[in-house]
Amino acid sequence: MARFLVRRLLLLLPVMLGILLVTFVLVRLIPGDPCKSMLGERATEEKCDAFRERFGLNDPIPVQFVRYAGNVLQGDFGVSIKNGRPVTDVLAERLPMTMELTFFAMLFASVFGIALGVISAVRHNTAVDVGAMIFANVGVSMPVFWLGLMLAYVFALALKGTPLQLPPSGRLTAGTDLPSLLKVWGMEDAQGLQRFMVLLISNSVLLNSLIQGKFNVFIDALRHLILPAVAVGTISLAIIARMTRGAMLDALTQDYVRVARAKGLTERMVILKHTLRNALVPIVTIIGLQIGGLLSGAVLTETVFSLPGVGTQIVDAITARDYPVVQAFTVLIAVIFVVVNLIVDVSYAYLNPRIRVS
């Protein structure tokens, strides 16, 4: 296992390098003078010279790349062109929202996807099964942003006045006050990694409100997350349901299931303890593979629900041609994506020892 882990980690290095290279090249590919695209069309020649000198744009490209990679590895993504803030601060501000959304979407998709798949497999070829699979087919075909808008319509307007009414936009109800943890803990002058971590926790509204013991804010934040999480998670739910059904149907034909039934176990035990447990390996893999789709879905859904996350920030940054921000977010999401895939691979190898050998 240890050797497998080391090999897998070593394989990560070229991919990480590739991510840096791609993001570096992407920004270099922007047509036109980087100075003009960064400082605006009316920048004077003097200003441009100073700009090139400051950002080392006169150096050879390989030197520039090494400097860029070095900066990123030290957690320095430069400053936003739009407002001059360190990009790291923007990251710490926006990332928690997207992480919360992705997490709850994944939770929703996994729990209901596995449940639906198991029920489908147990009731194989009945109306329940057919209905569930039709739902799964439709579910994978829905545009996330459209589902989000439809949910907003149903739960904020059609169900208005009922207990099912849910807020259609924003992170918290307007006027809700939640001070930054930097203030609460008196760490306003913290620097570097410490500041970044505190900001990350502080900007996760759920964590922050729990830490400060403001449970009404916590509940409010959760309610604001339900519709977006359902919208983001539905495609994955459908995929997981299909995969679970297939894996369960395979597992149900195995001899150990017959043995389990023969020795008189209840059907419930047979399904949950013997069949599902063995079907879990492919299911865990498919859940891990959803992370890319979920992150992409989160980006689209934040726009629908006006949530202050990575997605809305990227779109804003693109419109404002704020390249350091676009670059930083792209690097970060790719790294998260790669690391999650690594975790999935490793857990897969842990669950299924045969993988480690090959």
Partner 1 sequence: MQESLSAPIATVPAREASRLRVQSPFARTMRRLLHNRSAQVGLVIISLLVLVAIFADVIAPYAYDQQIRQSGLRRRSPPCIHLLGCDRDKPQLLMGLDGNFRDLFSRVVYGSRLSLQIGFLTTGAAILIGTLLGAAAGYAGGWADNIIMRAMDVLLAFPSLLLAIAIVSVLGPGLINTLLAVAIVSIPIYARVVRSSVLSVKEMDYIAASRALGASPLRILFVRILPNSLTPVIVVGTLGIATAILDAAGLSFLGLGAQPPTPEWGLMLGEERNSVFNAPHLVFFPGIAIMITVLGFNLLGDGLRDALDPRRKA
Where does this chain bind partner 1 (CB under 8 A)? 14-15, 18-19, 21-23, 26-27, 29-31, 137-138, 140-147, 149-150, 152-153, 156-157, 291-293, 295-296, 299-300, 303-304, 314-315, 317-319, 323, 326, 330, 333-334, 337-338
The DSSP-derived string for 180-226 is -HHHHTT-TT--HHHHHHHHHHHH-HHHHHHHTT-HHHHHHHHHHHH
What is the nearest approach in angstroms of partner 1 to the Cβ of residue 80?
14
Asked if 77 and 328 touch (Cβ cutoff 8 Å), the reply is: yes
Q: Based on CB atoms, which residue is closest to partner 1, 206 or 229?
A: 229
Q: Based on CB atoms, which residue is closest to partner 1, 137 or 173?
A: 137
Element holding 169 (H helix, E strand)? none
Phi-psi region of 157 (alpha: psi -120 to 50; beta: other; left: phi over 0): alpha
Q: Based on CB atoms, which residue is closest to partner 1, 157 or 219?
A: 157
Q: Based on CB atoms, which residue is closest to partner 1, 87 or 144?
A: 144
Buried b (16+ CB within 10 A) or exposed e, 79-113: bbbeeeebbbebbbbbbbbbbbbbbbbbebbbebb
Find where tokens 């059609």 sit. 158
Q: Based on CB atoms, which residue is closest to partner 1, 135 or 196?
A: 135
Q: Based on CB atoms, which residue is closest to partner 1, 214 or 322?
A: 322
Least Cα distance to 150 among 235, 223, 230 occurs for 230
123/125 Cα distance (integer angstroms): 6
What is the nearest approach in angstroms of partner 1 to the Cβ of residue 342?
11
What is the nearest approach in angstroms of partner 1 to the Cβ of residue 252?
17
What is the nearest approach in angstroms of partner 1 to the Cβ of residue 190?
30
What is the nearest approach in angstroms of partner 1 to the Cβ of residue 180?
28
What is the nearest approach in angstroms of partner 1 to the Cβ of residue 166?
14
Give the other-Cβ count within 10 Å of 270's Cβ: 20
